[in-house]
Amino acid sequence: MVAAPSLMEKTWTSDSGQFLAVEYDDTYLVYFKPSGDTHFLNFLSFGIVDAVSKTALSGTELHEKLKTDFSLTSSELPVALVTSTIGELDQAGLISSVDNSK
Amino acid sequence: MHKSALKQMAGVEPLPQKVMDRITLIRYADANHILGQMASAVIPEKDSRLEDIFRNARLRAEHDHRMLQFEMNRLEHALVGTGIEPIILKGGAYVALGRKASKGRRVSDLDILVSEDELEEVEARLKLAGWAADEATDNPYDQAYYRHHMHELPPLRHQKRGTVIDVHHLLLPKTAKSKIDVTTMRQSSVFLEGKRLKVFDNVDLFIHSAVHAFADGAIDTPARSLVELFMLYEELPERDAARLPARANEVGASTPVSIALWAIGRFFDVKNSTVHSKQMMGLKRYLVLRWAITSKTHDGPLAPLAKAFLYVRSHYLRMPLRLLIPHLARKAASWRPNSQKPIELPVP
Amino acid sequence: MNTLARLGSYSRSDLRSALKQGTLTLHLGPFTHLVSGASNALLDFLSDTYRDYQVEMAPSDVTDVLLSLEAPNLLRRFVRRQITPNPGFKVPAVPLPIHMAPLAYEMGLNLSVALKCCRFINVHAGVVADDSGAIVMSAASGAGKSTLTAALLQHGYRLFSDEFALIGLDKPLLYPYPRPISLKQETISVVRDMVGDSWISETVTDTPKGDIAYYRARESDLAQDKTPTAAKLLLFPKFEKGARAMTHQLNPAEAIMRLVPASTNYSLLGEPAFHALTGLLKNIRAYEITYGSTTDSLRLVEQITGQKML
């Protein structure tokens, strides 16, 4: 079962060839080719999709990277927020776990 | 509808020249959900209105295929770690394999087959991944009815995407008189490249299509079924076509397959298929049924009669009478003459 | 008779027989429509509201839309006669009393274009244009879109459509489809006062949507029905009784996310639709405007476009 903690342990990836993104101020419209859905992402969610398209990262590594990239502290960017965002992005198919595709 | 209409829609005969005849053909193809197949099989004049119409139809099918591919992706995702390898049936399989029968085909649901002992886990996993009982059948009667008498779980609809998945464990309802040996068919199923999803092999793909068209009551779209069978048959290598009668016999699908072969021969003038069909059945036995299919496909004056006949037959095949009567009685009881409420149209 | 001519130039009996045989072909904007339906109510409506539209008595080619207006069953062809649009696919249409034929016809055409024609992104929106480009107005029904559309037509704009913004897939241009403007309930008298009685069809009363009348497109609107134009502004108008006039500029991403659910085929079209809408919003701004009167709404448009109205 996909329990909450394991999302942070899993390694995530995305394929930049599978989505189109247009930036408007700090929001992104992302067209995801496999599903044909258009997603409205804020900079944080898009930050996740974008980061793991370059290198596969675990949830914990992602959390660290986002804090550095956007100069946020752990209280400004709590683990729970990253976990739930990862969960939603996974549901939408925008990111996927490397462990799944073995 | 004239016999050549089917051939015209399948792209093996040129379109009629007269404008009104063309329009009639398009109207018929659209109403029978084969405009997309026609649009993929027929090459229209460049920059013509027909090209526009065909483009519309192809765009709709492309959308469906994209949706279906993604649903297969999500299905695989939902089943990670279970070791369950579902078989993708029908349209889903044709799309995944890039078969001619998939070109331009509209698909609304994903149909999959698993073994009966996997049903419970598949249902639980799908529900965890956002599917839920579809509103239309989410009542105790329908839920129980499906689980006791049908060959599939009650349809599951994804709560966010609105897509429907039908999880089968048999190809025909449990209560059907004829039994298809699905275990044997599963044994020769093959993996889709790079996926943990499977499909039937070539021969069984055809057999299932025939079973679907002629044994489980899906006669309501005969033109569509015929075009599908024809296209599948056309792509069968000669060696596989020759294996068909024996394999159909082995899995208990001789009757639907022989009718299918007869129909392909009859409507598309495919000699081989007529020969194989004659090998398989005594012609007299199915004369009446074939008459029914023919007159319904042609929309002739006898069509309503033929339809009534087919309806009874298909229900009879599905359910023994003791089940049929309470079921129909219930259907009748829930029907009210003036139950049609005004429905808000999608467009003002 | 495969020649294009004004509907009004044909005799009533020619029209009647073409409708009865199902060969009457309406050419409008990018689409052709084959119409059949043997009812006086329909004939009256078309002879009046569609008199300036281009038609053929028999189709010279296959058509985009195949609409037939028919009785829901044999009984209703004769007794308490009813009519229902059949666009060739199953629709959730309620049979209407025969005198509501105009509504059945307009509804049938809307459904056909909305669900069948996917060479354009169809967005439920009003569109008007002048030489400097098109204004797209997307709103829920009852938000005053039709009144604003009608008002802009009185001030130098031409009608593209009151129901459909047709956005090209290759280039983000707007394509005209100037069907009559459908007016509901109190809007009817508001627009009648604005444009004069002779432009408004007879009112169809007691429909499922209340009273309905149609504001006929002008010959000048129809003359340019093949000329697409670039957009200059996207509006989300909101009429509220007694509201103070207000504008609020929207983030383009948000504007697109509002257009998506107003479109009947955005998700069907997928990637090209994404390119077209992001392309559209690249060059124009989007505003939500709130107002309590037609005068206010016009003033807000002037203010945003920086153009004085004629």
B70/A1 Cβ within 8 A:
no
CB C128 within 8 A of CB C118: no
Q: Range with the lowest mean pLDDT among B320-324, C23-27, C83-87?
A: B320-324
Q: Which residue has the higher pLDDT, B220 or C21?
A: C21
Q: How far apart are CA B252 and CA C282, in angstroms?
A: 61
Question: Do C227 and C290 belong to one domain?
Answer: yes
Q: Please say if the pLDDT value at position B342 is more than 50.
A: no
Q: Please say if the pLDDT value at position C208 is more than 90.
A: no
> C268: nearest CA in chain B?
B63
Please list every residue in chain B whose beta carbon sits closer than 8 Å to the beta carbon of residue A91: 129-130, 160
Cα dihedral across residues A57, A62, A66, A72: positive or negative: negative
CB A28 within 8 A of CB A36: no
DSSP code at position C308:
-
Q: Which of B19, B20, B348 sits opposite C141 (nearest CB)?
A: B348
Kindly report the CA angle at B138 between B197 and B346, in degrees rounded to 5?
90
> B19: nearest CA in chain C?
C61
Per-residue model confidence (pLDDT) at position B309: 47
The token duo for C305 is: 């476009």
Q: In this complex, how many residue pairs, one in chain B and one in chain C, have their CB atoms less than 8 Å apart?
A: 83
Question: Do C293 and C146 belong to one domain?
Answer: yes
Instruction: Please report which confidence band the pLDDT of residue B321 belongs to, taking 50, 70 and 90 as the band edges.
Output: very low
Mean pLDDT along residues A25-33: 90
Which strand (E) or helix (H) includes residue C166? strand C164-168
Q: What is the CATH number of the domain that holds C228?
A: 3.90.228.20
Q: Which of A1, A36, A91 sits opposite B67 (nearest CB)?
A: A36
Q: Please say if the pLDDT value at position C91 is more than 80.
A: no
Q: Range with the lowest mean pLDDT among A24-33, B33-42, C21-30, C79-88?
A: C79-88
Question: Do C85 and C221 belong to one domain?
Answer: no
Instruction: Please report which confidence band the pLDDT of residue B281 belongs to, taking 50, 70 and 90 as the band edges.
Output: low
Query: Is position C249 within any domain?
Result: yes
Q: Which residue has the higher pLDDT, B316 or C209?
A: C209
Domain end point (choices C99, C116, C133): C116
- pLDDT tens digit sequence for B129-181: 999 998 888 888 888 888 888 888 899 999 988 899 999 999 988 777 778 99
Mean pLDDT along residues C250-275: 92
Q: What is the pTM of this model?
A: 0.85
CA C120 to chain A, closest CA, distance in angstroms equals: 17
Q: Which residue has the higher pLDDT, B324 or C14?
A: C14
Average pLDDT, chain C: 92
Q: Please say if the pLDDT value at position B209 is more than 80.
A: yes
Query: Is position C77 within any domain?
Result: yes
Per-residue model confidence (pLDDT) at position C3: 87
The token duo for C46 is: 């078309």
Domains of chain B: 69-200 (3.30.460), 201-332 (no CATH)
CB-count burial class (<10 Å; 0-12, 13-18, 19+) for B126: buried
Mean pLDDT along residues C163-178: 93
CB C292 within 8 A of CB C239: yes
Q: How far apart are CA C161 and CA C33, in angstroms?
A: 16
Q: Please say if the pLDDT value at position C4 is more than 80.
A: yes
> C108: nearest CA in chain B?
B347
Question: Do C110 and C125 belong to one domain?
Answer: no
CB B121 within 8 A of CB A82: no
Question: Do C175 and C241 belong to one domain?
Answer: yes
Question: Do C166 and C240 belong to one domain?
Answer: yes
Instruction: Please report which confidence band the pLDDT of residue A52 belongs to, taking 50, 70 and 90 as the band edges.
Output: very high
Per-residue model confidence (pLDDT) at position C309: 79
Q: Which of B70, B129, B130 sits opposite A35 (nearest CB)?
A: B70
CA B36 to chain A, closest CA, distance in angstroms equals: 20
Q: Which residues are CB-neighbours of C248 under 8 A, at least 6 positions away?
A: C287, C288, C289, C290
Q: Which of A31, A33, A40 sits opposite C257 (nearest CB)?
A: A40
Domain end point (choices C116, C131, C162): C116
Per-residue model confidence (pLDDT) at position B328: 42
Per-residue model confidence (pLDDT) at position B295: 57
> C269: nearest CA in chain A?
A36
Please list every residue in chain A whose beta carbon sits closer than 8 Å to the beta carbon of residue B77: 93, 96, 100
Q: Which residue has the higher pLDDT, B84 or B303?
A: B84
Per-residue model confidence (pLDDT) at position B344: 28
Instruction: Please report which confidence band the pLDDT of residue A100 belongs to, taking 50, 70 and 90 as the band edges.
Output: low
C2, C62, C181, C271: best to mutate for the B interface, most B CBs within 10 A: C62
> A93: nearest CA in chain B?
B74
Q: Range with the lowest mean pLDDT among A39-43, B145-149, C100-104, C149-153?
A: B145-149
Per-residue model confidence (pLDDT) at position C95: 85
Per-residue model confidence (pLDDT) at position B2: 58
Q: Is A6 on the interface with B (CB under 8 A)?
A: no
Query: Is position C197 within any domain?
Result: no
CA B345 to chain C, closest CA, distance in angstroms equals: 7
Q: Please say if the pLDDT value at position B256 is more than 90.
A: no
Mean pLDDT along residues B274-289: 63
Q: Please say if the pLDDT value at position C286 is more than 50.
A: yes
Domains of chain A: 4-101 (3.90.930.60)
Question: Do C36 and C86 belong to one domain?
Answer: yes
Please list every residue in chain A whose beta carbon sits closer than 8 Å to the beta carbon of residue C253: 22, 24-25, 27-29, 40
Instruction: Please report which confidence band the pLDDT of residue B318 belongs to, taking 50, 70 and 90 as the band edges.
Output: very low
Q: How far apart are CA C255 and CA C134, in angstroms?
A: 16
Q: Please say if the pLDDT value at position C40 is more than 80.
A: yes
Please list every residue in chain C whose beta carbon sits closer than 8 Å to the beta carbon of residue A39: none
The token duo for C6 is: 């004004």
Q: Range with the lowest mean pLDDT among B1-10, B115-124, B316-325?
A: B316-325
Question: Do C51 and C136 belong to one domain?
Answer: no
The tokens 């149609």 sit on which residue? C214
CB B105 within 8 A of CB B36: yes
A18, A19, A22, A30: best to mutate for the C interface, most C CBs within 10 A: A22
CB C200 within 8 A of CB C161: no
Burial profile A74-89: b = 16 or more Cβ within 10 angstroms, e = fewer: eeeeeeeebbebbeeb
Mean pLDDT along residues A4-22: 88
A25/C274 Cβ within 8 A:
no
Q: Which of B63, B66, B73 sits opposite A93 (nearest CB)?
A: B73
Q: Please say if the pLDDT value at position C228 is more than 80.
A: yes
Host domain of residue C237: 120-179+217-305
C→A interface, C-beta within 8 Å? 251-254, 256-257, 260, 266-267, 270-271, 274-275, 278
Mean pLDDT along residues B100-122: 94
Domain end point (choices C87, C116, C145): C116
Question: Do C162 and C38 belong to one domain?
Answer: no
Question: Do C162 and C87 belong to one domain?
Answer: no
Give the count of domains, chain C.
2
Please list every residue in chain B whose beta carbon sits closer than 8 Å to the beta carbon of residue A34: 66, 69-70, 73
C118/B56 Cβ within 8 A:
yes
Question: Do C130 and C275 belong to one domain?
Answer: yes
Q: Please say if the pLDDT value at position B217 is more than 60.
A: no
Per-residue model confidence (pLDDT) at position B298: 56
> C278: nearest CA in chain A?
A22
Query: Is position C201 within any domain?
Result: no
Q: How far apart are CA B316 and CA B297, in angstroms?
A: 21
Instruction: Give percent of chain B with pLDDT exceeding 90.
Output: 53
Which strand (E) or helix (H) includes residue C96? strand C96-97
Please list every residue in chain A whose beta carbon sits closer than 8 Å to the beta carbon of residue C260: 38
- pLDDT tens digit sequence for A73-94: 888 888 988 999 999 999 899 9
Q: Range with the lowest mean pLDDT among B35-44, B140-149, C8-17?
A: B140-149
> B158: nearest CA in chain A?
A91
Please list every residue in chain B whose beta carbon sits closer than 8 Å to the beta carbon of residue C58: 19-20
Q: Is A29 on the interface with C (CB under 8 A)?
A: yes
CB B175 within 8 A of CB B319: yes
| Secondary structure (DSSP) of chain A | ---HHHHHHSEEE--GGGEEEEEETTEEEEEETTTTEEEEEEHHHHHHHHHHHHS-EEHHHHHHHHHHHTT--TTTS-HHHHHHHHHHHHHHTSSEEGGGG-
Q: Which of C89, C107, C119 sits opposite B52 (nearest CB)?
A: C119
Query: Is position C196 within any domain?
Result: no
Nearest to B220 by CA among C152, C61, C251, C90: C90
Question: Do C65 and C170 belong to one domain?
Answer: no
Secondary structure class of C112 (helix, strand, coil): helix
Q: Please say if the pLDDT value at position B221 is more than 90.
A: no
